[in-house]
Copies of this chain bind each other. A is one copy, B any other.
Amino acid sequence: MANFCSDNVAGAAPEILQALVEANAGPAAAYGEDAITDRLESRFCEVFETDCKVFPVATGTAANVLCLAAMTPPFGAIYCHRDAHINVDECGAPELYTGGAKLVPLPGEDGRLTAGQLSEVLADSGAGVVHHVQPAAISLTQATEAGTVYRPADVAAIAEVARAHGLGLHMDGARFANALDFLAASPAEATWKAGVDALAFGATKNGCLCAEAVVVFKPELAATLGYRRKRGGHLFSKMRFLSAQLEAYLKDGLWLSLARHANAMAGTMATGLSTVPGAGLVHPVEANEIFARLPRSLREGLHARGFEFYDWPAAGADAVRLVTAFDTRPEDVEAFLAAARELAGPAVAESA
């Protein structure tokens, strides 16, 4: 049955599983000294068209908080959207890894922060005053928790504010491939060229079993990361199995193909919902998440027919979240839409 709860309910892409099988041949040095891991960093450098340092880990939370820990002292402040995963869905992991830094949650339409807002907040941030935590980093989610995407120009404007105040710029790229597909920008344009210092490069949601990478564009930030990763328990002994996932993910643009499909499915869903009486979008659909308003009868009817998705009251009284993935089947989207239309009935009251 169709499951739109999360891209985390998807399994792994066959190419990724196949890479695990291949990586299994023969002995390999442990803890990242193997051949696959060795060539992985070069591969990332090619993909991002720059020298970067790469630290594979298995979870997005790990990737995020290692980035943040590298750029934030224990008495630091990290500015993020109030709905940011790091703020609400990581059970305090950033605080653990930074040694107690403070996340400063900010509002922002459609899940986005803006340069103007940050500039204003930072003008009154208490920098240099010992009573206050010290501004240290800005964190952006790409695509955002609202399913929208920062344009490179948005990121660049925020990066300029970050630089002006001596802050690091972190990007939580849990759905980075989906964002890239929407932007039709290069990985470089979406990150370091726009001023991103460290990226939590997500791969799990988009077809891996468990693979993410800390990608560091500012070399000095990398100095402590190896220790921090190990200390967090995130250095894999049989690292080849993490690296093999990432290698296959990047090979021949697989990652972008997978994201393209997920985004296309989300587009179909969004377009389709516009024809369902009573339904509407909460946020623009720019990646693979749809935040929609569905009347209660419609939500209940769809749940009753076995469609799986989350009601999402945080986005409004009637809101739901629908997430598509690399393996979402067009027929499941169509079935959902057909059921929605049927449950909604004819759009009698056009005036609504």
A35 beta carbon closer than 8 Å to chain B: no
A236's contact among B21, B25, B59, B232, by CB below 8 Å, is which?
A: B59
Contact status A93-B11, CB under 8 Å: no
B91 touches A227 (CB 8 A): yes
Oligomeric state, in number of copies?
4
Given contacts A31-B8, A241-B210, whether A230 and B131 have CB atoms under 8 Å apart is yes
B92 contacts A133, C-beta separation under 8 Å: yes
Please tell me if A15 contacts chain B, counting CB pairs below 8 Å.
no
Docked complex Cα distance between A59 and B232 (Å): 10
Query: Taking the complex as formed, is A45 at the interface, i.e. its CB lies under 8 A from any CB of chain B?
Result: no
Which of B24, B204, B233, B242 sits near A232, CB closer than 8 Å? B233
Closest to A4 in B: B27
How many Å from the CB of A316 to the closest CB on chain B? 14
Q: Tell whether A134 is near chain B: CB-to-CB under 8 Å.
A: yes
CB–CB A92/B65 < 8 A: no
Please give, as numbers and ranges, the residues of chain B lying within 8 Å of A184 by CB-CB distance.
none
Main secondary structure of the interface of A (DSSP, over half): loop
Provide the residues of chain B in CB contact with A24, threshold 8 Å: 11-12, 17
B23 touching A93, Cβ below 8 Å: no
Decide: B209 and A20 in contact? CB cutoff 8 A. Answer: yes
Q: Cα distance A59–B32 when bound, in Å?
A: 14
Partner of A131, one of B21, B90, B103: B90
Tell me which of B28, B60, B131, B205 contacts A9 (CB under 8 A). B28
A30 within 8 A of partner (CB)? yes
Residues 20-69 of A at the B interface (beta carbon under 8 Å): 20-21, 23-31, 57-62, 65
Q: Which listed residue, B12, B21, B75, B224, touches A92 by the CB 8 Å rule?
A: B75
Find A90's partner among B3, B89, B92, B230 (CB 8 Å cutoff). B230
Question: Are the C-beta atoms of A235 and B130 separated by less than 8 Å?
Answer: yes
- B23–A20 touching, CB < 8 Å: no
CA distance A92 to B235 in the complex (A): 13
Question: In the complex, what distance in Å separates the CA atom of A144 from the CA atom of B98?
Answer: 30
- Tell me whether A231 is interfacial, beta carbon within 8 Å: yes
Asked, given contacts A75-B224, A237-B59, whether A9 binds B29 with beta carbons under 8 Å apart, the answer is: yes
The answer to whether B27 touches A227, judged by C-beta atoms less than 8 angstroms apart, is: no
- Those of A293-308 within 8 Å (CB) of chain B: 308
Contact of A230 among B93, B97, B241 (CB under 8 A): B93
- Among B60, B92, B130, B242, which residue has its beta carbon within 8 angstroms of that of A74? B92
Which 5 A-B residue pairs are closest in the complex by CB-CB distance? A95-B100, A62-B233, A8-B30, A99-B99, A61-B233
Give 17 A-B contacts (CB < 8 Å), ordered by A residue: A5-B30, A8-B31, A8-B237, A9-B29, A12-B238, A59-B234, A59-B235, A62-B234, A88-B131, A91-B132, A92-B102, A92-B231, A93-B233, A95-B101, A96-B99, A130-B226, A131-B230
